[in-house]
Structure 1
Amino acid sequence: MIKKVMLIILLFFSFPMNAAIHAKEKESKKALAIVIDDFGNNMKGTEDMLNLPVPITAAIMPFLPTSKEDAVRAHKKGHEVIVHLPLEPKKGKKSWLGPGAITTDLSDKEIRKRTKDAIESIPFAVGMNHHMGSKATEDERVMRIILDECLKHNLFYLDSKTTGNSVIKKLAEEMHVPYLENNLFFDHVYSNQHIVKQANKVANELDDQEKLIAIGHVGVSGPMVVNVLKEYIPVFQQEADIVPLSKLVDGYELIK
């Protein structure tokens, strides 16, 4: 009889403790957001990216032939949508920017109009990052207007970190705009070997970081990126949940 009572007491205390430990482990699981840039022009890899079995964040360029279509398709498949705003770089062809690009020689009024039009052209957008932009993201005047429009439209901003001298962090904190910073690109070098190397880097960095953001692209490197992702998604999931980008934004309330 005494043994039975002791066993009941032991079970009573051990079950809540085990549940608490399990809950703590679940809460502490790491998070990875995979952002794919350059949707909107039916680029290589578009279909396969949208069919990936995990939530991605589709960064869609405005005013291109399939911009709206890609946004709707991404949303229907459970992916998150953000505006991929073309901003002036220090180097590169102007034609790479696409329509509605924002350059540092534009007036305040025109910058605001182009930003607002871009946001309103992409259905289901909850955030923004930039296409190119190494020059514009160093310009406080330009970025203050863009971030103000993000604030007005309840968008967070992902700094893709195309320059080490970006003013986005400083301005976003000052203006109370929810923001994030990219950790790495999968495909800034167009080779399968490099993309695999970057995927391994993501897996290794998840050992030390609670949150990680990695950006890839559709287009020239799109088919290579999607094939590597298919191989590495199970590897990433051993360490982290793969989540929409908004899940990593501190204090951001998704109201769309």
Structure 2
Amino acid sequence: MIGGAGGLVGWLLVNAEHTESLREIQRPQLTVDILNEGETPEPNSSALPQKAETADHGAAPADGTDGHGQPAEGHGATAEAADGTPAKEGQGDGPARPAAPADGVTLTPIDPALMEVRDDLRLPIVAVDGRQPWSTYARPFNVDDTRPWVAVMVTNLGLNQRETDAAIQLLPGAVSLSFSPYAEDLDTWLEAARAAGHEVFMDLPLEPLDFPRDDPGPSTLLTTLSTADNLNRLEWVLGQSPGFVGVSTWMGSQFTTVEDAMMPVLEGLKERGVMLVDSRGSSRSIATELASSIQLPRAFSNRFLDATPSISSVDRALADLETVAQEQRVALGIARSLPVSIDRIQRWTGTLERKGVVLAPVSALADRQRLR
């Protein structure tokens, strides 16, 4: 009992600053728009479910960034349960029933020919006829569209029921969703997201610079582990549920800068026919360049949309993302599963058509972004 109490006190001391910043993010917000005469009002942000309070690893500055304008890597990581697995927040009664896609776009059903069953894992594989999971499970998109393309990915889903339901139900199907491999009811979450027209990805937990203070969980790939151990952890992540397009790097500001650690992982992804999305948690990440060198389909983040999780900041980041798309023809923004992010993305996507910008799924950007 004394040891347990001491551990609790130590955890609170280490995480106090981060917990306070998370509470600041979670304070309810009310958005009031001034409408033109005759304009129909949209539902305000109070209609979006608010995030349940979570306990996260690591401390972060009060604005939710790492001090360099990037999201703090520990922000959104989950506390671990007694068995060493991350605790799930706000799961309630489980995922909502799958919704029919509002735009009528349906995804390819799960194909047993693209799956290897090993023990309790269901791993993606390239089919005998050459079909790959990343292109088979991608959301259909007209690649001949000459307008600027902008893609958005929301990450770390499945750990909070209300936020995950909101992302699936409120965001357009062209918004790609990335789920935590630690989520409960992961099969049902992915089924619901795909039924609503969203292509899905898996968060790939990678070592951050300040590990273990920021800890992405028990299956994190680490530069201190052997290649075999990291590939075993990669297979665990990939084998949690079928039907995803690829993986999105989760944290990784250390791991994605070390070629000897990163290259075997990328080769493993290519062998299994899945795509890489480099969230670029570090400006020194070499993951995208290494992926290109082995012809692994890849995309990378042009903007973190909620480095500072406020209405005005997210709106500015979305406007910046549009500018990148106008200048470079394609752009990708990545956001966390925060209520303010989901709300502002929902509103913003409704403005793109009249601006001459098309919302594209992340898979459509594979190998189309300019390297640095």
Q: When the two structures are superposed, what TM-score results if normalisation uses the length of structure 1?
A: 0.80
- Say if 2:245 is the partner of 1:126: yes
Deviation (angstroms), 1:240:
1.9
Native 8 Å contact 1:57 1:80 kept in 2: yes
Give the RMSD, CA atoms, in angstroms: 1.9
**What's the counterpart of residue 150 of structure 2?**
32
CA distance in 2, matches of 1:186, 1:213: 10
Q: Is the 8 A contact 2:302 2:321 kept in 1?
A: no
- Paired amino acid for 2:154: I
Residue 360 (structure 2) pairs with residue 246 (structure 1):
no
**Does the alignment pair 1:236 with 2:355?**
no
Letter in 1 for 2:321: V
CA distance in 2, matches of 1:76, 1:27: 25
Which shifted more, 85-94 or 209-218? Answer: 85-94
Cα shift at 1:205: 3.0
What residue number does 2:343 align with? Answer: 227
What is the one-letter code of the residue matched to 1:187?
Answer: D
Larger proportion of strand: 1
Aligned to 1:20: none
Larger fraction in helix: 1
- Note closer, same or farther for the CA distance 1:148–1:118 as it changes in structure 2 (3 Å cut): same
| 1:172-251 correspondence to structure 2 within 5 Å | 172-218=291-337, 222-237=338-353, 238-250=355-367
Quote how far apart the aligned CAs of 1:236 are: 2.5
- Name 1:21's counterpart in structure 2: none
Higher relative contact order (CA 8 A, sep 6+): 1
Select 2:164's aligned residue among 14, 24, 46: 46
Q: 2:219 pairs with 69, 85, 100, which one?
A: 100
Letter in 2 for 1:142: A
1:99-125 deviations in whole A, cap 9, x for unaligned? 311111111111001101211213211
| Aligned mates of 1:226, 1:188 — CA distance in 2 | 14
> How big is each residue's C-alpha offset from its partner over 1:65-121, in whole Å with a ceiling of 9 and x where there is no partner?
243332221111111111210111013655641231111111111100110121121
Alpha-carbon shift at residue 165 of structure 1 (Å): 1.4
- Distance in 1 between the 2:313 and 2:222 partners? 31
Taking a change above 3 Å as real, the CA distance of residues 121 and 89 of structure 1, as seen in their structure-2 partners, is same
| Conserved? CA contact 2:150–2:322, under 8 Å | no
Runs of 5+ consecutive residues of structure 1 not aligned to the other structure: 1-25, 252-256
* Conserved 8 A contact 1:206-1:212: yes
Aligned partners of 2:148 and 2:357 also within 8 Å: yes
Q: Is 1:145 the equivalent of 2:261?
A: no
Unmatched tracts of structure 2, length 5 or more = 1-143
Residue 88 in 1 paired to residue 215 in 2?
A: no
Distance 1:64 1:104 in 2: 24
What SS does the corresponding residue of 1:33 show, helix, strand or coil?
Answer: strand
% identical aligned pairs:
22
> For residue 27 of structure 1, what is the amino acid of its counterpart?
D
Task: Write out the 4+ residue segments of structure 1 that deviate beyond 6 Å after TM superposition.
Answer: none
**Alignment partners' CA distance in 2, 1:135 and 1:97:** 12
Deviation at 1:239, TM superposition (A): 2.6
Structure 1 residues 170 and 231 mapped into 2: Cα distance closer, same or farther (>3 Å)? closer
Q: What is aligned with 2:174?
A: 55
Partner of 2:87: none
